[in-house]
Chain A
Amino acid sequence: MSAEEVYEKKLLDHLSDFFIKAVVRIMDSIKPGWSIRNKSRIDEWRLMLYALNRSPTGIVGLILVASFIIIGIFGPLVAPYSYSDLLVFKNSHYRFIPPGGTGPGGEVFLLGTDDYGRDMLSLILYGARTSLVVALLVMIFGAPIGIILGLISGYYGGKIDELIMRITDIFLAFPGLILAIAFAATLPDRVRGLLEANPWLQNIMLSLFALDPADAPRLANLLSVIVAIVIVWWPGYTRIVRGSTLSARENVYVEAARAMGMSSWGIMFKHIFPNILAPILVILTLDVGSVILVEAGLSYLGIGAQPPIADWGRIVYDGSRWLIRGYWWLSLLPGVFILLTVLGFNLLGDALRDVLDPKARRSIEFKLKKKKR
């Protein structure tokens, strides 16, 4: 079934076509003939994108997520001020400038300033970077642990399964946030030692978070939050992946691979994992939002990023003291950004669930086909 048969093209579809064509051109220039070999795969992608274009919530989610990622990557580069520019020490009139207000020097502060005269816009831009990097690192380190353990657990079964599942149960028995608080509070010393021993790691982290070298000592707290979230995060994946593995390993092609003499690891990673990838991708997307929320929550509680490092949760906390005096933008603006980001990931994840599952997508296509007729 080709995309043209089902859909009447709209603007977004042309945009997706353009995007796919660009990808195809790049791949073709790397490996000649790639597009011909992978024709059915490209068609699938096209159908997926078209189906996504038909979901208004999915589009909203995609836009929110894309803007978050763009802000996270480029925000610190275009921010008018640094997160540690305390303008109040230059002139006390820089304090509490409302959004859109002008400073003593005539500069416009689009989102206002806080009690130290820091530019809220810059803080939020830097905060986006912090959230993005934390979420990314948690996904990079947490998800593979959970996925691999889940695959092992589901594939081998028996005693190994029992052992791994009981360990995940132990982790899941504690409320995630509380466990994360415990880890985040006890880890910084070790992390600090590790960073001091490995300056290269420290430098990588500094540039990832777009921090001044002067803030290097504060990295430890931030990294321990990441470690803490990783520790409480993997059991969720283990459970879900184990469940999917249990059903995927019953497929005849898994048995056939075994009968062909493939190793267990080969079967797990080549034949089971790719076949359960779609649900994992959906959960990953949904979880990026949750990780951002948890991280913001931890720094709101004063455990994560230490001032002056810009972090949305921390900014909300710092501003909350002034809410009662009427300086609403200090807390509200970063709060709105947290809300929109998490909402975006949830909407996108929800839409991906329908798009990545071939059966759900077929039903979308079927409905549209009927309408067209």
Chain B
Amino acid sequence: MEMCKPILEVRDLYVNFYTYAGIVKAIDGVSFTVCEGETFCLVGETGCGKTVTSRAITRLVPEPGRIEKGEVIYYTPYGKINLLELPEEKLREIRGKEIAYIFQDPAAALDPLYTIGYQIAETMVEHKTVSKWKEAFIKAVEVLRSVLMPDPEKRVKAYPHELSGGMKQRSVIGIGLSNQPRIIIADEPTSYLDVTIQAQIMDLLRKLKKERKLTIILITHNMGLVAEMCDRVAVMYAGNIVELGTVEQVFKNPLHPYTKGLLRAVPNPLTKIEKLEAIPGTVPNLIYPPPGCRFHPRCSYTMDICKREKPRLVEVEPGHHVACWLYSR
């Protein structure tokens, strides 16, 4: 592995949601570093906090969530800044210009009342990448061409309902890319698309990444996608990162019992099996999370210490971290 030049560093992030039922401790001390130019994956099942983590990076945690503590260090070419302490106006300049998001459901992420050309132009004008609307519309065609939209001159005038799902997602990616951001946070960009379109969109992301030296943070629950796309992967469970390493390390040599279970739960098309192996139990209630390791009620290797103390993320081999008492001593 080459030397990692960090571009984004999340340190000790805690996010709570203040609901009527109680305080949901959604993110419980998450730390990771994203290197420049890599594809970093956050995987985990629904509700494990991967989306909240990605939103917290630019302080977009929805109500009633609150970032309790932590740091998000963003390395600009001129120095590093803590995004969680930045005033709102400065942060707005970073959102969309330095760090852009691609959302899960492309149909919902586009405003139905405006043409996609307008929506692409809007982000460019908002960030003053171009000074005039007219210019922005001309550039919007270029943006659509770069995301391989068929017939961009015509599509730029189309309203979202006139486009297919794949074309909508291309437009959403186009909006994200319009200001040449350094980091793209793609939150399950393909889960609303059918399989053939998924492959196209992933090819597009890979191509764009290569062309523009983008850093991609990919959020997904699809292990196949992780294996295909990512350089490094962080496995999340109930608001914690339980395992972090290169794709090779995590897939060939999964250490955490949860990761092992997760990988066993993926069907292998080459071997026909009667029943897929599932991880027993369900995701814990995060208002009253289990003490100690949050995975211990579902784990088959539970020891006494697991119920008392929370394991820390430790480096087992170079670059391969795991948070489990089986490996820390």
Contact = CB atoms under 8 A, between A and B. Distances in A.
A20 to B, nearest CB: 19
Interface string A266-294: 10001100110000000000000000000
Interface stretch (B79-87, B120-128, B213-221, B297-305): B120-128
A11 interface: no
A173 interface: no
Contact of B113 (A37, A263, A275): A275
Interface stretch (A83-91, A137-145, A183-191, A250-258): A250-258
28 contacts: A37-B157, A40-B162, A157-B63, A252-B103, A252-B104, A252-B109, A253-B108, A253-B110, A253-B112, A255-B62, A256-B101, A256-B109, A256-B110, A257-B111, A258-B95, A259-B95, A259-B96, A259-B103, A260-B101, A260-B126, A260-B175, A261-B93, A261-B95, A261-B96, A261-B123, A263-B126, A275-B112, A275-B113
Interface string B166-190: 0000001001100000000000000
Interface in B255-295: none
A40 B162 CA distance: 9
Interface string B68-104: 0000000000000000000000001111110011011
B132 to A, nearest CB: 16
B80 to A, nearest CB: 20
A263 B111 CA distance: 16
A40 B161 CA distance: 10
A108 interface: no
Contacts of B105: 252
Interface residues of A, number: 20
Nearest to A263: B92
A232 to B, nearest CB: 32
A262 interface: yes
B130 to A, nearest CB: 15
B92 A261 contact: yes
B58 interface: yes
B32 interface: no
B251 interface: no
Nearest to B97: A261
Contacts, number: 67
A260 B157 contact: no
Interface in B29-80: 58, 60, 62-63
B60 A255 contact: yes
- Sorted from nearest, which 4 A-B pairs have the closest CB atoms? A261-B96, A252-B108, A260-B96, A261-B95
B123 A260 contact: yes
Interface of B: 58, 60, 62-63, 92-97, 100-101, 103-105, 108-113, 122-123, 126-127, 157, 159, 162, 172, 175-176
Given A255-B60, A261-B94, A261-B127, A40 B109 contact: no
Interface string A116-130: 000000000000000
Given A255-B60, A256-B101, A261-B92, A266 B126 contact: yes
A261 B129 CA distance: 13
Contacts of A270: 122
A255 B63 CA distance: 12
A274 B112 CA distance: 10
Contacts of A262: 92, 96, 122-123, 126
A274 B93 CA distance: 25
Interface string A130-158: 00000000000000000000000000010
Contact of A256 (B63, B92, B103): B103
Contacts of B94: 261
A261 B126 contact: yes
Nearest to A40: B159
A266 B172 CA distance: 19
Contacts of B109: 252-253, 255-256
A47 to B, nearest CB: 14
A174 to B, nearest CB: 33
B100 A260 contact: yes
Contact of B111 (A157, A261, A271): A271
Given A260-B95, A260-B126, A262-B126, A251 B108 contact: yes
A147 B219 CA distance: 38
Contacts of A37: 157
Given A259-B95, A260-B175, 18 more contacts: A40-B162, A157-B63, A252-B104, A252-B108, A257-B111, A258-B60, A259-B60, A259-B96, A260-B95, A260-B96, A261-B96, A261-B97, A261-B123, A262-B123, A266-B126, A270-B122, A274-B113, A275-B111
A269 to B, nearest CB: 12
